[in-house]
Structure 1
């Protein structure tokens, strides 16, 4: 039989109300009493049933997701997953809201973080911009009692408690392994398209990509990164210019969004000399391009799994419960035309 708080109170020689104050972190308990209760819990092997405790108190968890606004198809899909999960989460006493900020805008993200009220928000999941001001805003949010985790793009040199997303260095290395093999018999130049190098996921993908390309496929020259701001028009214009000026481009790696711009830029290239193309995220546009043979591979992260993982982790952080890291691992997925779900 599992020990109860009655057993803890009896073993520690204190009242039930004292045990309740200790378990819920309320003031008014002497340090010596705290030590006796803790020792009794260890002796009895007492483990608190957090779910039952929260149910008895009708505990409501209030979470905010802050993600970039704009035409980024993956981010709009992520937003749809968050909003779609809200009804299911509500049945488990979790209230979720989604807020958007301009992409790659550290100041706007800081402003949104500063506006979080701990009386209304218990935890926040943030698609982070790699900015010292954002790290400082994380620290202030934590001091106000708000649990902070990062989602998709990390900011490890901060007070965030956990990162939910793929290992982006590994994702970049995977893309290089694929593209290097696709272009093995076609020495030339590789064009790289990013959204912005101020977000860590793009910077880490580029790092992993370069590591493998330089180490294993040195016959392929990696072109300086095109920063397309996840805007299809910018990507189409800038990549089109690179393809016009460098007919030796044999491969394209898109490590951000704006893939509709890539489709437009390469559609004008003669099919027999068209570059091999590896992109990120399985969106309706990338799916269609894979099916048509325009794209060769897509590196994907499961947005639905990331949303559910973020909610579980925020709840665990608030409850002081252990996080099952193996359960929360988000793996890199590779899709070709032949294995599309």
Structure 2
């Protein structure tokens, strides 16, 4: 028989009510008493019955996915997976919701985060640029007792849910170099914003491989599109006009629909190796049409399920199973879709 809370209370020399307060992180318990309970947990091998503990809460866990107001097909796929989880999460006493923020106005986004209350939300998974305003808002949320994890856009915090973006960029660099087969020339790198840490990390990984192993290739400074089709067309056309030796295109952002549409209009990928991120309807079609060469992907369903598991573990002060939460980098070509 595994030890019960009664056994734990006896081993720690405290009441059942005190054990309950310590296990649930409630206030009003002296530090010495908390240490005594934690020591007893280790000594008798106490393991909390999480199902019973959740039922004892008498309410479901409530987790919010904080997502950009503007987005495209990959963001839509993530929201679809969140809605999908909503239908099965109730059986596990977990409720999820989506909150959209204005990622282009960090002050406004921070105000939205500041209105979230621990009475309404237990934890959030946030996909947003790493700005001082959002970083401070997340810190204040944790002070209020709301658990937080960065989602897809890494903000250098424990529990990040997403692929290793530097490795993803390095993978793109390796594919680019291999596909070009020693052909020298210039590479255009394009993204929505360099404020996004995922794009920054991908660019660092991409540069590391190209600069080290393919000296005949030169990467231009990253072009920012801000997700605007007109700007995308302007910067891409200017780069192509200014450099007559462009041999490759690398679209680093999570949303490749606009760059692909613009590149199709300009016939920019013809005779050039093109690597993009995330499997969507647009990238699938571009692969089938031979317009792009490879897609580097992370599964949105795995992202959502992993975020929920990590947030619940944080709420219950449990250690996560790291191997279960590692998001794989997938390489897709037309032949393995």
1:312 counterpart = 2:312 = no
1:195 counterpart = 2:192 = yes
**Aligned equivalent of 1:261:** 259
Return 327-336 or 27-36, whichever deviates more: 27-36
CA contact (8 A) 2:65 2:125 kept: yes
Among candidates 203, 212, 216, match of residue 215 of structure 1: 212
> Which digits, 9 at most, give the CA deviation of each residue in 1:221-261, with x for residues without a partner?
11121111123343233213322332311100000124343
Q: 1:186 to 1:119 in 2, by over 3 A?
A: same
**Aligned equivalent of 1:323:** 320
Cα offset, 1:67, TM superposition: 0.8
**Aligned equivalent of 2:20:** 20
Aligned-partner SS, 1:287: helix
Q: 1:8 to 1:259 in 2, by over 3 A?
A: closer
Q: 1:141 to 1:246 in 2, by over 3 A?
A: same
CA contact (8 A) 1:171 1:332 kept: yes
CA distance in 2, matches of 1:210, 1:97: 38
1:42 counterpart = 2:42 = yes
CA contact (8 A) 1:232 1:258 kept: no
> Which digits, 9 at most, give the CA deviation of each residue in 1:191-247, with x for residues without a partner?
111110011111111111111111111211111211111233432332133223323
CA distance in 2, matches of 1:40, 1:258: 54
Return 197-206 or 113-122, whichever deviates more: 113-122
Return 258-267 or 178-187, whichever deviates more: 258-267
CA distance in 2, matches of 1:13, 1:264: 70
CA distance in 2, matches of 1:39, 1:261: 57
Cα offset, 1:39, TM superposition: 4.4
CA contact (8 A) 1:66 1:124 kept: yes
**Aligned equivalent of 1:118:** 118
Which sections of structure 2, spanning at least 5 residues, go unmatched?
A: none
Cα offset, 1:131, TM superposition: 1.1
Aligned-partner SS, 1:164: coil
Cα offset, 1:186, TM superposition: 2.6
CA contact (8 A) 1:197 1:227 kept: yes
Residues paired across the two proteins, number: 336
Which sections of structure 1, spanning at least 5 residues, go unmatched?
A: none
Return 240-249 or 290-299, whichever deviates more: 240-249
CA contact (8 A) 2:256 2:277 kept: no
Q: 1:7 to 1:75 in 2, by over 3 A?
A: same
Cα offset, 1:14, TM superposition: 4.8
CA contact (8 A) 1:232 1:262 kept: no
CA contact (8 A) 2:232 2:262 kept: no
CA distance in 1, matches of 2:325, 2:27: 34
Q: 1:88 to 1:16 in 2, by over 3 A?
A: same
CA distance in 1, matches of 2:208, 2:80: 34
Return 59-68 or 12-21, whichever deviates more: 12-21
Aligned-partner SS, 2:92: coil
1:52 counterpart = 2:85 = no
Cα offset, 1:266, TM superposition: 4.2
TM-score, length-scaled by structure 2 = 0.91
Q: 1:27 to 1:105 in 2, by over 3 A?
A: closer
CA distance in 1, matches of 2:248, 2:15: 71
CA distance in 2, matches of 1:264, 1:35: 61
CA distance in 1, matches of 2:5, 2:178: 62
Q: 1:29 to 1:134 in 2, by over 3 A?
A: closer
**Aligned equivalent of 2:146:** 146
TM-score, length-scaled by structure 1 = 0.90
Q: 1:14 to 1:223 in 2, by over 3 A?
A: closer
> Which digits, 9 at most, give the CA deviation of each residue in 1:263-299, with x for residues without a partner?
432454398x521100011110000000111100001
Q: 1:187 to 1:18 in 2, by over 3 A?
A: closer
Q: 1:116 to 1:36 in 2, by over 3 A?
A: closer
CA contact (8 A) 2:103 2:128 kept: no
**Aligned equivalent of 2:229:** 232
CA distance in 1, matches of 2:146, 2:292: 42
Cα offset, 1:78, TM superposition: 1.3
1:90 counterpart = 2:82 = no
